[in-house]
Structure 1
């Protein structure tokens, strides 16, 4: 097994630095605009993308690559604020469905314009259309590879049905 070359290390550190800087800026904007954490924003945004505004908790946790216990805590915080509601799934009493409330949609709408402007300015303003296409072409397969080996806390649950 061989180590990483200088260009590989530089690319790796660039990706991690960009990710950290972008995450910090986004976290600040979400906190200031809607008193949301990035995970809470992802939960609300994911629910708003669902045609009925509802999804199973485990499906959301798997999509955002977040531990189920951490997700449960964040969902509890959102529920206390009246931004979501949790209820047993109609087809499986062991599953919990999370639904976006009108108040949740209002908070999401309030933060979304500023969020999109920040991401556009910090990430995409310095890119050409060709750069964006290259970024998607390069990082898509990396993301797919990482999804094949997610962290333990984010791995899909095994079915316990017999």
Structure 2
């Protein structure tokens, strides 16, 4: 027997979540473009690297963390590298692994866009909520996120082969 369709409450919660996420993302993307000429993914990369004690992370870990394709992340990291905001290079532990590091210019830009970013998120997402509402929201979303992330990370998925010629014999 197949699963029933979503009930009225589930459908309402789903549409509200999608709409809130879409509206927030749209506003955040405009703020990041205006404040630092950054895309949302570029901001995520800089913020993730800026939060690391070493200022560095493996490309694979970054792709899994920001939920972005490896090729798309490589492209975005390349744009950030061209702008002098990150550097890329082989890992000291394993030269097959690419490590991305935030530069001083990247930290400066991150410090420039963060206050406006935080203000926007606070105004749009948290302003209409009480402190208890925020804790409840986090308590509701955290297990959902953890459930969704329980599957193997996208970087663990095998890469599709481009052609039969590239397959090893």
Report matched runs for 1:1-162 at 5 Å.
Answer: 1-149=3-151, 155-157=154-156
Q: SS in structure 2 opposite 1:69?
A: helix
Q: SS in structure 1 opposite 2:100?
A: strand
1:149, distance to aligned residue in structure 2 (A): 3.4
Unmatched tracts of structure 1, length 5 or more:
none
Alpha-carbon distance between aligned partners in 1 of 2:42 and 2:55, rounded to the nearest angstrom: 15
Q: Between Structure 1 and Structure 2, how many residues are aligned?
A: 156
TM-score, with structure 2 as normaliser: 0.89
TM-score, with structure 1 as normaliser: 0.93
RMSD: 1.3
Unmatched tracts of structure 2, length 5 or more:
159-169
1:145, distance to aligned residue in structure 2 (A): 1.0
Q: Greater Rg, structure 1 or structure 2?
A: 2
- 1:119-143 CA-to-partner distances (Å, cap 9, x unmatched) read 0000001110110111011111111
- 1:53-74 CA-to-partner distances (Å, cap 9, x unmatched) read 1111111111111111000000
